[in-house]
């Protein structure tokens, strides 16, 4: 199985701050990487797919990038509504494993 190592596990940031979350794949997954946001008590929501493509309706302050087998999610100016847990997921080969998650809190 492909392992997805996500960091940090938790993150405290201020409003308007730039936030970056990373995922390291244990092997080449190409652009088969997605990011999800989960708010408390809610279902996950797709943010980014194909490593860099923004899902419908997602604010442009979210962006995804790739460098080899390392993937990053960037929030350019943190807003209150961005608080939650973020997960990466590889979809290169089954099982399509998720990262362990990053809990984003307001400082």
Interface with other proteins, residue 40, by CB under 8 A: no
> Which residues, 6 or more positions from 32, have their beta carbon under 8 angstroms from its beta carbon?
50, 51, 90, 91, 92
Interface with other proteins, residue 96, by CB under 8 A: yes
Q: Which is nearer to other proteins, 11 or 91 (CB)?
A: 91
Interface with other proteins, residue 37, by CB under 8 A: no
Interface with other proteins, residue 66, by CB under 8 A: no
> Which residues, 6 or more positions from 5, have their beta carbon under 8 angstroms from its beta carbon?
23, 24, 26, 99, 100
Interface with other proteins, residue 106, by CB under 8 A: no
Interface with other proteins, residue 55, by CB under 8 A: yes
Rounded to 5°, the CA angle 23-60-38 comes to 50
Q: Are 70 and 24 in contact (CB under 8 A)?
A: yes
User: What are the residues binding other proteins (CB under 8 A)?
Assistant: 1, 32, 34, 36, 38, 43-46, 49-50, 55-56, 85, 87, 89, 91, 94-101
């Amino acid at each position: 199985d492909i392992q997805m190592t996500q960091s940090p596990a938790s993150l405290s940031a201020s409003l308007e701050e730039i936030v970056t979350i990373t995922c390291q794949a244990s092997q080449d997954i190409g652009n088969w990487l997605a990011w999800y946001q989960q708010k408390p008590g809610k279902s996950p929501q797709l943010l980014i797919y194909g490593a860099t493509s923004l899902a419908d309706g997602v604010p442009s302050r979210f962006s995804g990038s790739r460098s080899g087998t390392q993937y990053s999610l960037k929030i350019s100016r943190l807003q209150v509504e961005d608080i939650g847990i973020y997960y990466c997921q590889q979809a290169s080969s089954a099982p399509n494993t998720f990262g362990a998650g990053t809990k984003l809190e307001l400082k």
